[in-house]
Amino acid sequence: MTSPIRTERHGDVLVIIADNPPVNALGAAVRQGLEAAIEEGEADGAIAAMVIRCDGRTFFAGADITEFGKPPVEPMLPTVVDRIEASSKPVVAAIHGTALGGGCEVALGCHYRVAVPSAKIGTPEVKLGLLPGAGGTQRLPRLAGVRLALEMTAKGDPISAKRAQEAGLIDRIVGEDSLAADAVAFAGEVKAVRPIPRASERAVQPDPEAVAAFQKENARRFRSFDAPAANIACVVKATEVPFDQGIAFERKEFLRLMTGNQSAAQRHIFFAERQAAKIDDVPADTPLRPIRRVGVIGAGTMGGGIAMNFLSAGIPVTIVEMAQEALDRGTGVIRKNYEATAAKGRMTSGQVDTAMAALIPTLDFDALADCDLVIEAVYETMAVKQEIFGRLDGIAKPGAILASNTSYLDIDAIAACTSRPQDVLGMHFFSPANVMKLLEVVRGAKTAPDVLATVMALAKTIRKVAVVAGVTYGFIGNRMLMPRQVEANKLLLEGATPEQIDRVHVAFGMPMGPFQMADLAGVDIGWHRDPNRIENVRDALAAEGRWGQKRQAGFYDYDEKRNPSPSPRVAEIIQDWRDKTGTPQHEVTDEEIVERTLYPMVNEGALILEEGKAQRASDVDVVWIYGYGWPVYRGGPMFWAKTEGYDKVVAGLEKHGFTVAQSLKSGSIK
């Protein structure tokens, strides 16, 4: 097998080149090749300096994550990085694309770093539940200072070449198109400089104030995650002990994280997210339909948010409403949202104007005729949707993709109102649609493969994580929400309080519990609006006008700042229903809440998979991570069930009388 590493001689500079597509991950062969190439440069008297660069789209994007959990193959990355740093001849890293994780660490092991202006440098290991385990936590603070090292390691966001240069991580920014030649020239300039600058030999001062401030600023973000604290501890260690001891501490912490559940979950999600984009029975090279203009029907909260996704990606949008007032309100909200983003410095006013200029608001339904994709985002009523699709069928150009943003309804029944069901599918965005990453793409019985492939690719363009779902009430996410809500309501009658149930969910890591969610979304949603027909606690709340946060009263009472407190009135209503229904009371434990609200979600996920309504278990996990804020360190409901042990989940479900999915019983979930 040919090595992914080759060398070239440019005068007295040895250029070491990696070619390991797609992202030059530092797999075993790359590590072996790098080490051998450094030895080659050291041994050759005609060589005075070395350059390490990569072919393809990026400098090393990190350790090869697919090797994690497998038996280690020598040389390990820390050894390779140390070998580079120990070289008696200067080594220059030539960076383009993204120097991430182990890639960044290779660069830090080099004595100099040059980069193109578009390059990014970072240590995203924390997002995989890890820390930079090849000396990164010890070399970064020595080169860039404690504060930036904390930012880069514990938060994991990459920085630009410019910022890296300002911080002392990059020695020179070179031409975008002349990296190879400029790096060799730079090596020529520094080849005789002694002593050779080695990051490990630099001193770094403790900065307890910076550490304390950083921890305080990010306490919420880091809540319940193991890895950020470990990253911080390693950076702090770098300021306290000699390099070698710091490295030993880093290694110990790295191994602890690597063998823990959180990192396993986060690595699972890394691959799950990428896997979700793949459609099992549609080839990756399926020709796509061009999407040059998108139509959105409905300028309400959802329609407006949906439109923003395309505008932000530079795709023009025609947005249609029934009345001028609603149209004006909708476009006003879009502008306001963009302006708020600009005020936070995340957009320029020029970009706001460009996005708004690409929006055509209109009352004329016929204006949708030149759209390549039309997304309907009106009321959740089948009759209304069918009427709209019938009309759309007469207007949309041939080949246009017709999508519904329905959260529950049958896409096939909607498609049947057109003469072109092959062009119809669901695009279920999550609220707020311009923020939430998830897109459920609902494949109807007749949806054409290229229509599905086009929308999945488009999702990537608008930076969504898309998951294919089949036609089933509530698709993947909302269908799994239903058993959770049913049980949560029953538990109230049996003796639990909304506070207790929500607390268990928040402690589990969810952003909020079922009743906090009901208050946020609106207790009146789905209510039949008949004050004389009160069938459960929720109806009783709705009939009293306790519609949730918007009314400052729902399952909780709220003050003006929307801070919740337990509601005595709700306690009364619950008691009233306990009495009316004669429900026997018992002390509900936190464990029972987990078994009765979270396990049934797993069970429903298993049923969805058995019915073929989701392609794979990891897709179900992606839905819950990106659509509902399931804690990423638990890897989604299906991964979590595996961590818990299928046997335990099955036993818990059976204990409470649930009918358990066959695949869960047999542990054959895929």
- Point out which residues bind ligand 3HC (CB under 6 A): 22-23, 25, 58, 61-66, 77, 98, 100-102, 105, 124-125, 128, 130, 132-134, 136, 274
Q: How far does CA 121 lie from the centroid of its chain?
A: 20
- Tell me whether residue 277 or residue 360 sits nearer to ligand 3HC (CB atom): 277
CA 18 distance to own-chain centroid: 29
Catalytic residue among 105, 273, 376, 595: 105
Within 8 A by CB and 6+ apart from 247, the residues are 78, 135, 138
Residues 130 and 227: beta-carbon distance below 8 Å: yes
Q: Determine which one of 39, 85, 125, 544 is catalytic.
A: 125
Contact assessment for residue 169 and residue 113, using Cβ atoms and an 8 Å cutoff = yes
Quick one: 14 or 131, whose CB is closer to ligand 3HC? Answer: 131
Relative to beta strand 401-404, strand 424-429 is parallel
| Phi, psi (rounded to 5 degrees) for 241 | -130, 165
Computed on alpha carbons and rounded to an integer, the radius of gyration of the chain in Å comes to 28
Q: Tell me, rounded to whole angstroms, the distance of Cα 270 from its chain centroid.
A: 8
Would you call 105 a catalytic residue per the annotation? yes
Q: What is the DSSP string of 273-335?
A: HHHHT--TTS-TTPPPPP---EEEE--SHHHHHHHHHHHHTT--EEEE-SSHHHHHHHHHHHH
Cβ of residue 505: shortest distance to ligand 3HC, in angstroms?
A: 29
- In the three-class reduction of DSSP (H, G, I as helix; E, B as strand; rest coil), residue 198 is classed as coil
> How many helices, marked H, and strands, marked E, lie in the chain?
29, 19
Question: Which two structure tokens, joined as six digits, stand for 566?
Answer: 């337990």
Least distance between ligand 3HC and beta carbon 161 (Å): 15
Identity of the residue, 85 or 487, whose beta carbon is nearer to ligand 3HC in the bound complex: 85
Whose tokens are 């708020």? That residue is 340
Is the CB of 57 or the CB of 580 nearer to ligand 3HC? Answer: 57
Does 637 sit behind a cis peptide bond, omega within 30 degrees of 0 on the bond before it?
no
As measured in angstroms, the least distance from the Cβ of 58 to ligand 3HC is: 6
Min CB(136)–ligand 3HC separation in Å: 6
For 490-558, give the DSSP string: HHHHHT--HHHHHHHHHHHT-SS-HHHHHHHH-TTTT----TT---SHHHHHHHTT--BGGGTBSSEEE
Cα–Cα distance, 182 to 180 (Å, whole number): 6
The C-alpha atoms of residue 628 and residue 222 are separated, in whole angstroms, by: 18
Give the tokens for residue 392: 């759309």
Between 274 and 569, name the residue whose CB sits nearer to ligand 3HC.
274
Considering the complex, state which of residue 128 and residue 378 has its C-beta at the smaller distance from ligand 3HC. Answer: 128
| Minimum distance, C-beta of residue 82 to ligand 3HC, in the bound complex (Å) | 13
The least distance separating ligand 3HC from the CB of residue 123, rounded to whole angstroms, comes to 7
- Cβ(311)–Cβ(389) under 8 Å? no
102 vs 426, beta carbon nearer ligand 3HC? 102
Question: From the CB of 106, what's the least distance to ligand 3HC, in Å?
Answer: 10
Give yes or no for a contact between 248 and 223, defined as CB atoms under 8 angstroms apart: no
Shorter beta-carbon distance to ligand 3HC: residue 200 or 603: 200
Question: What minimum distance in Å lies between the beta carbon of 67 and ligand 3HC?
Answer: 8
Tell me how far, at minimum, the Cβ of 128 lies from ligand 3HC, in Å. Answer: 6
CB of 276 to ligand 3HC, least distance (A): 10
- 505, 496 contact by CB (below 8 A): no
State both tokens at 114.
Answer: 């040059």
Give the chain's length: 670
Helix 514-521 with 498-508: angle, nearest 10 deg: 100
Please identify, using beta-carbon distances, which residue of 403 and 458 lies nearer to ligand 3HC.
Answer: 458
Q: Helix, strand, coil % (nearest 5) of the chain?
A: 50, 15, 35
Query: How far, CA to CA in Å, does 16 sit from each of 78, 104, 138, 179?
Result: 18, 16, 25, 14
Q: Residue 96 in 3-state DSSP? A: coil
Active-site residues, by number, are 105, 125
